[in-house]
Amino acid sequence: MPDRRSRSGGRIRARGLWIALPLALVFVAGACLVLLPGTVLTRGRPATGPSPAVAAAPVGVPDWLRIPAIGLDARVESVGVTAQGTMGVPTDPRDVGWYAPGVRPGEPGDAVMDGFMEWSSGPAAFADLSRLRAGDEVDVDLSDERRLIFRVDRLARFPFNQSLPGLFERGGSPRLSLVTSSSRWNGTGYEDRVEVDARLVSTTRTTPTPAPTTPGPAPSGSRPPARSR
The letter for the amino acid at 150 is: F
pLDDT digits (tens, 9 = 90+) for 151-199: 999 998 877 677 677 889 999 999 999 999 866 555 666 667 889 999 9
pLDDT in tens, 37-95: 543 443 333 333 444 444 445 468 999 999 999 999 999 999 999 998 889 999 999 99
CB of 174 closer than 8 Å to CB of 105: yes
Q: Bridge partners of 19?
A: 12
**CATH of span 32-37+53-205:** 2.40.260.10
Question: Residue 46, class by beta-carbon neighbours within 10 Å (0-12 exposed, 13-18 middle, 19+ buried)?
Answer: exposed
The domain locations on the chain are 32-37+53-205
The winner for highest mean pLDDT among 130-144, 188-202, 208-222 is: 130-144
Its pTM stands at: 0.69
In this prediction, residue 48 carries a pLDDT of 39
Question: Maximum Cα–Cα distance for the chain, whole Å?
Answer: 94
**Per-residue pLDDT band at 212 (split at 50, 70, 90):** low
Question: Using only C-alpha atoms, what is the Rg of the chain?
Answer: 22
Distance CA 161, CA 166 (A): 16
In the structure, what pLDDT confidence band is assigned to residue 211 with cuts at 50, 70 and 90? low
Indicate if the pLDDT at residue 124 is higher than 60. yes
User: Which phi and psi (to 5°) does residue 129 adopt?
Assistant: -60, -35
- Taking phi first (over 0 means left), then psi (-120 to 50 degrees means alpha), and beta for anything else, what does residue 83 get? alpha
